[in-house]
Structure 1
Amino acid sequence: MAQQRFSAEQVAEMLFADSEENEIGSDPDRFDSEEEDQIFHGIDPFEDLNQETAEQPGTSAEPMTPTTRPFPSSTASAPPAACRSRFCPRREPGVQLDTSVEQSPLGLFKHFFSADSIRTLCANTNKLVERNIAAGKRYKWTNINPVEMFKFIGLVLYMGVLKLLAVSDYWKRKKNISVNFPSTVMSRDRFRAISWNIHMSDPEEDVVNDRKKQTQPDEYDTLFRLKPLMTEIKAACQSAYHPRKQLSIDERMVATKARTGMTQYMKAKPTKWGIKLFVLADSSNGYTCDFSIYTGKSRLASGLGLSFDSVVELMRPSFLGSGYHLYCDNFYTSPKLFRHLLSLNFGACGTIREGRKDAPKTKLNQLPKKSPRGTLRWIREDDLLFTKWMDNREVAMCSSVHVAYDGDTVKRKQKKRDGSWEEINIPVPKPIVDYNIYMGGVDLSDQLIQYYSVQHTTRRWYRTMFFHFIDIAVTNGFIMYREIQKLRNTPANQLTTHRAYVEHLVAELCGVTVGAVPVQRENWAYTCANLHSSYTAEV
């Protein structure tokens, strides 16, 4: 599944600029699967301009080809019921913390990694070390406390900002090029010992759960080792921020090749091997509102498919409210799902695969293979709109919140008979316009995470997920920090950058003064003197 990418400038604009219509295109890189790439370039059927035809479900508009005449500003069909329903969020959208007081990066991070979570993490880590030492493993250990745990996380974040080839490189001394900060916070051996033993669940309860895998497989919990921290992170994501009206759902891969029943291979993803997450994100800024981890076939499956169950699990009225619009790719889109979401007072829009169950089977809506660019067809069944549009290829969409056409156009280049190129405007369906704007929420979140990700190789899959939870906490904290700055009318040229935010957080976690120069090691002057003498000898 190809992942949409943004430039740094686009990320900044999408994070905190008001919703603006981006350039509408049919670049296959915007599509989220190979199947979608095959059908995605033929999007929306055109809403019939004849009012009588538009009122009859199951009819198709005549194809519209690009012309130089002006396009109508709206169509005769009324929007579906979900479009007319009120947007009633459970809480006021935006940051839910007290924005009247100054929020520091550390304060925002502690909302996700609370004092209770850190104490539990320390207690379970100490228990695991005791068990390992009793089993014969040899290494020095003193019980870790919350202050030291925060310093460990701070160093992990530091390594995400300043990337070296190996962890040991951060503590090298007898090299001409070395870094000074990590050794002032923690010794190398101590950092390694914590990394090898970090544990989120109670080791004694792990043993009980592991036995169930053989004796009581129905009661075995695959995610047991993650649950204590994962539950806290998910609750914090939901309590700290309430999303705006447009949401997107997509998969996220956390890189690992661990031999677990959860490890997935997705050849179209940049990260091909890993643990798959289903992520619900705010389309306006990429905030991770909720997520679920794919563990294989579920015992609680509804029988309607993985795509149906994963969306229903994340789109909960008890958390969101009603009136939200969800954007998804063709892995999720189905008439059954969209009708179920309508029953929950949620609208939805997404690309749809040809031959999807319960989709219209009529040939009246088919586009000829050689249809000119801008040709549009549509069919409405009850509250669902099925559209097709010809760009470079045919694109198919399904929506419960749109009219087929609202007067939007997109610029394309076409070759004239004399060999020169001209720019033309072709009509583009409304579902595609909004899909291109709002579908990128999870991709934006993924890109922000990757800038300063703390992921590194571990021997246990659950430690890989621990580092990903840190990534979620830091990225969500940064998004909230910028949202708070916007509420305070901070000038654009004074907004905190992503790197500055992470550096500030590293300093606070490690207990050093922000912007202070760390104390140099004793042998630093000796190293510099040797370096100078070597240059003098060469001259």
Structure 2
Amino acid sequence: MRLTFFRYFRLSLAQLLQALEEDQIEDAIDIYTLPHEDGNDTDMDEDLSDDEHCADLNSLGPKMLKTVCEVESRINAPSTAEKPTPSCSHWDSSDEEPLSKYARVHFKRVKQKKAKTNYSWSHSKPSFNMVVNCEKVPPSEAVKTCKTSLDFLKLFFTDELLHHFIEQSNIYAGQKNKLLNMFLDEVNVFLGALLFSGYGKYPNKRMLWSGSPDVRVIVQNSIRLNRFENNLRNFHINDNNNLDNTDRLFKLRPLITHLNKCYKLHGGCEENISIDESMIPYYGKHYAKQYIRGKPIRFGFKNWACCTSSGYLLSFDIYMGKDNNENRAYLVLRIGLVAQVQGTYYLLIFIWEKTTMKTELLVLGVIHDLLKHLSEAGYCATGTIQDSRTSKCPFTDVKSMDKKPRGSYDCRTDTNIKISLVRWKDNKTVTCITNYDSIEEGTCTRYSRDSKAKITITQPRPITHYNKGMGGLDKMDQADYTL
């Protein structure tokens, strides 16, 4: 008994004729030609009908030679246990495998259940083991030797960073088959022209090279317009050939990393650290542009900033949406926090990585898991918390607290994780969480509309410390003003 196998493959007619002439196909085959795509797109009367058309294998037009053919190869196999090995070069052993092997399999993603934390809330006073007396790190010795503003600028825009700009810009120009040859003095002038353009608001950068008497000539005398535009077109910070698809700030990442390193190296550190969001103004079209109601700058890029209580910036990270980079420091711990708190913890890890320093941290929008890991790392933390993240703490709800007089408060302590929650009534109800501060009553002064005078009300100690150390970012924003 002999079996017959059929093998189908598609070739152009010209390729098929060449294979037949070179004796690459030895088995019996059937050839089926398909009509050309525009074979019927003609209204000419000279075309022959199907009945009048006569095929001539010795005279085939260019359109016919480009036509796709379907070839059916018949292979006679002996009735033996061995698999047939036909001489056709287009056949292989995988042709006998079932099609179900190559069918697409849809895997259902299974969500991992987060381990529930058991909370034990009580009215008892907290007993924390955190060390509150923190060490203050002074600025570097290089800061003490700086005498001019240019000296301070060179602490952050170092020659190492400028040489990196030169290298990447020359590489990018070479990728476009252009010769740039940027050098150190030129990149200093180029960056200076960019910074100078921020002082004078001109509709076009070309107006800096205008001949009008009301335009300063400092940029004109430093660099030519054609050279400036050439540098601007080819200026690059990172190599596109090493693109990291997981980092949406890949093109700016070397600059961000370098600045954060210099901020940490030269600025020192204080006891109170505040982490909050700031806005970089931007009114164009970009997928990462944010709108935050209630901010002085409502449209722009959201920037997570970590500042000291005096307003010095220690670290920053621009928010670009959900981050899928598994190499980031805050994802290594697998805390499972929202993007807001992930950015907060990343800034903290970036500043004091591989150090034993303990500091008091004032955080905006924290949750229990974050304070738990901060306590294990030795960081004292106090921050506000949303009502939906209180883990069903059985204290007075917000609606009932709003009806109480100003200065009323309620507190609970979790004896398992060693954290305390305080809810206090001011103009609005505020909920605060801490991992080190005791719940002691203090006082503060507020203006009363009823008595039309200032009155003294009760204020818990965590609220007092939070208000004392949370103004660092506002001071940093106030330092950014127009000269």
Regarding TM over 0.5, the answer is yes
Q: Note if 1:435 corresponds to 2:466.
A: yes
Q: Note if 1:109 corresponds to 2:157.
A: no
Equivalents in 2 of 1:133, 1:441: separation in Å? 48
Deviation at 1:335, TM superposition (A): 1.7
Equivalents in 2 of 1:201, 1:365: separation in Å? 50
Among candidates 81, 86, 97, match of residue 141 of structure 2? 97
Equivalents in 2 of 1:446, 1:367: separation in Å? 36
Instruction: Name the residue aligned to 1:408.
Output: 443
Among candidates 227, 231, 241, match of residue 207 of structure 1? 241
Deviation at 1:268, TM superposition (A): 4.3
Equivalents in 1 of 2:185, 2:357: separation in Å? 42
Equivalents in 1 of 2:478, 2:454: separation in Å? 32
User: Does the aligned pair in 2 maintain the 1:410–1:428 contact within 8 Å?
Assistant: no
Letter of the 2:419 partner, please give it.
Answer: L
Letter of the 2:248 partner, please give it.
Answer: T
User: Does the aligned pair in 2 maintain the 1:323–1:346 contact within 8 Å?
Assistant: yes
Equivalents in 2 of 1:346, 1:154: separation in Å? 40
Letter of the 2:264 partner, please give it.
Answer: Q
Deviation at 1:125, TM superposition (A): 1.4
Q: Note if 1:59 corresponds to 2:123.
A: yes
Letter of the 1:87 partner, please give it.
Answer: C
Root-mean-square deviation (CA, aligned residues, Å) is 3.0
Deviation at 1:354, TM superposition (A): 0.9
User: Does the aligned pair in 1 maintain the 2:419–2:435 contact within 8 Å?
Assistant: yes
Note the 1:347-362 alignment, pairs <5 A: 347-358=380-391, 360-362=393-395
Q: Note if 1:425 corresponds to 2:456.
A: yes
Q: Note if 1:194 corresponds to 2:220.
A: no
Deviation at 1:337, TM superposition (A): 1.1
> Which region of structure 1 is more displaced relative to structure 2, 302-311 or 356-365?
356-365
Deviation at 1:176, TM superposition (A): 5.3
Deviation at 1:305, TM superposition (A): 2.4
Deviation at 1:356, TM superposition (A): 0.9
User: Does the aligned pair in 1 maintain the 2:126–2:439 contact within 8 Å?
Assistant: no
Instruction: Name the residue aligned to 1:7.
Output: none
Residues 443 and 200 (structure 1 numbering): CA distance in 2 closer, same or farther, change over 3 Å?
same
Residues 430 and 165 (structure 1 numbering): CA distance in 2 closer, same or farther, change over 3 Å?
farther
Among candidates 243, 253, 256, match of residue 230 of structure 1? 256
Equivalents in 2 of 1:266, 1:133: separation in Å? 43
Deviation at 1:413, TM superposition (A): 2.6
Q: Aligned with 2:221: secondary structure?
A: helix
Instruction: Name the residue aligned to 2:205.
Output: 167
Q: Note if 1:241 corresponds to 2:241.
A: no
Equivalents in 1 of 2:419, 2:289: separation in Å? 36
Deviation at 1:246, TM superposition (A): 0.6
Equivalents in 1 of 2:216, 2:143: separation in Å? 37
Equivalents in 2 of 1:248, 1:327: separation in Å? 5
Deviation at 1:406, TM superposition (A): 4.2
Q: How many residues matched?
A: 352
Q: Tell me which of the two structures has the higher relative contact order, counting C-alpha pairs closer than 8 angstroms and 6 or more residues apart.
A: 1
Determine which structure has the larger helix proportion and give its number. Answer: 1
Deviation at 1:359, TM superposition (A): 5.0
Instruction: Name the residue aligned to 2:304.
Output: 278
The gaps in structure 2 that reach 5 residues or longer are 1-119
Q: Aligned with 1:424: secondary structure?
A: strand
Deviation at 1:170, TM superposition (A): 2.4
User: Does the aligned pair in 1 maintain the 2:303–2:318 contact within 8 Å?
Assistant: yes
Deviation at 1:365, TM superposition (A): 9.4
User: Does the aligned pair in 1 maintain the 2:137–2:268 contact within 8 Å?
Assistant: yes
Instruction: Name the residue aligned to 2:360.
Output: 325
Equivalents in 2 of 1:318, 1:372: separation in Å? 44
Deviation at 1:121, TM superposition (A): 0.4
> Which region of structure 1 is more displaced relative to structure 2, 241-250 or 404-413?
404-413
Equivalents in 1 of 2:477, 2:183: separation in Å? 31
Q: Note if 1:387 corresponds to 2:425.
A: no
Deviation at 1:310, TM superposition (A): 2.0
Instruction: Name the residue aligned to 2:478.
Output: 447
Instruction: Name the residue aligned to 2:104.
Output: none
Residues 194 and 451 (structure 1 numbering): CA distance in 2 closer, same or farther, change over 3 Å?
farther
The gaps in structure 1 that reach 5 residues or longer are 1-55, 61-76, 135-140, 214-219, 453-498, 500-539
Residues 150 and 182 (structure 1 numbering): CA distance in 2 closer, same or farther, change over 3 Å?
same
Among candidates 143, 150, 157, match of residue 195 of structure 2? 157
Q: Note if 1:288 corresponds to 2:319.
A: no
Instruction: Name the residue aligned to 1:4.
Output: none
User: Does the aligned pair in 1 maintain the 2:132–2:360 contact within 8 Å?
Assistant: no
User: Does the aligned pair in 2 maintain the 1:254–1:276 contact within 8 Å?
Assistant: yes
Deviation at 1:257, TM superposition (A): 6.1
Equivalents in 2 of 1:322, 1:208: separation in Å? 36
User: Does the aligned pair in 2 maintain the 1:365–1:378 contact within 8 Å?
Assistant: no
Deviation at 1:390, TM superposition (A): 1.7
Letter of the 1:425 partner, please give it.
Answer: T
Deviation at 1:360, TM superposition (A): 1.1
Note the 1:358-377 alignment, pairs <5 A: 358=391, 360-363=393-396, 367-377=400-410
Equivalents in 1 of 2:397, 2:217: separation in Å? 70
Equivalents in 1 of 2:401, 2:390: separation in Å? 22
Instruction: Name the residue aligned to 1:177.
Output: 214
What are the Cα deviations for residues 275-309 of structure 1, in whole angstroms up to 9, with x where unaligned?
4332211122x222122333433333432322332
Deviation at 1:199, TM superposition (A): 0.7
Equivalents in 2 of 1:406, 1:267: separation in Å? 33
What are the Cα deviations for residues 489-535 of structure 1, in whole angstroms up to 9, with x where unaligned?
xxxxxxxxxx6xxxxxxxxxxxxxxxxxxxxxxxxxxxxxxxxxxxx
Deviation at 1:194, TM superposition (A): 2.2
Instruction: Name the residue aligned to 2:341.
Output: 308
Q: Aligned with 2:171: secondary structure?
A: helix
Instruction: Name the residue aligned to 1:504.
Output: none
Residues 162 and 262 (structure 1 numbering): CA distance in 2 closer, same or farther, change over 3 Å?
closer
User: Does the aligned pair in 2 maintain the 1:79–1:402 contact within 8 Å?
Assistant: no
What are the Cα deviations for residues 154-200 of structure 1, in whole angstroms up to 9, with x where unaligned?
22222333444432332221x35332322122233333332232211
TM-score, structure 1 normalization: 0.59
Residues 321 and 291 (structure 1 numbering): CA distance in 2 closer, same or farther, change over 3 Å?
farther
Equivalents in 1 of 2:390, 2:449: separation in Å? 36
Residues 85 and 404 (structure 1 numbering): CA distance in 2 closer, same or farther, change over 3 Å?
closer
Equivalents in 1 of 2:306, 2:435: separation in Å? 19
Instruction: Name the residue aligned to 2:134.
Output: 87
TM-score, structure 2 normalization: 0.65
What are the Cα deviations for residues 206-254 of structure 1, in whole angstroms up to 9, with x where unaligned?
13527xx5xxxxxx54333223333222221111122111101122333
Of structures 1 and 2, the larger Rg is shown by: 2
